[in-house]
Structure 1
Amino acid sequence: MQVHIFKGPGRVFGFTTQPTGDNLPQKFAPWVAFKTVELRRGEPTPGVDVGECLADIEAHGVHITDAHARITEEAIR
């Protein structure tokens, strides 16, 4: 799956399949495009827990981390 990564404030990163990042939570805006990667279950990607990331995207449309720690559910409230 092609995933677009955006940088928020501090060490917050947002992951989404939307190239514009429009579905990322506004409380961490502004979001700045960082890079696009191809994520596949079972294939490691440095700095990303691929399974957790893809599960969040499937469930919530986004995956949000702060200093590599998952904060998705807190971020989308």
Structure 2
Amino acid sequence: MLVYIFRGPGRVFGFTANATGENLPARFAPWASFKSVELSRDKPTPGVDSGECLDDIEKHGFHITDAHVRITDQVV
């Protein structure tokens, strides 16, 4: 799955399948486009747990990390 990564304040990052990032939580806005990556459950991706990220995107529409630690549940 193609995932777009956006940078929030500090070391907060948002991951989403939405190219504009408009579905990311306003709590960490403004979001700045960072890059996009192809995520797969069977291929490790540096800096993110691919399985966790894809699960969150499927369930919530986004995955949020702070210093590479998942904080999605704290913002939904």
TM-score normalised over the length of structure 2: 0.98
Count matched residues: 76
Distance 1:49 1:73 in 2: 15
Partner of residue 26, structure 1: 26
Q: Which runs of 5+ in 1 are unaligned?
A: none
Q: CA deviation at 1:75?
A: 1.6
Aligned to 1:44, the other structure's residue is in SS state coil
Structure 1 consecutive aligned stretches of length 4 or more whose deviation exceeds 2 Å: none
* 1:74 pairs with 2:74: yes
Distance 2:32 2:75 in 1: 17
Letter in 2 for 1:57: I
Q: CA deviation at 1:16?
A: 0.1
Distance 1:24 1:55 in 2: 16
Identity of aligned residues (%): 68
Q: Which runs of 5+ in 2 are unaligned?
A: none
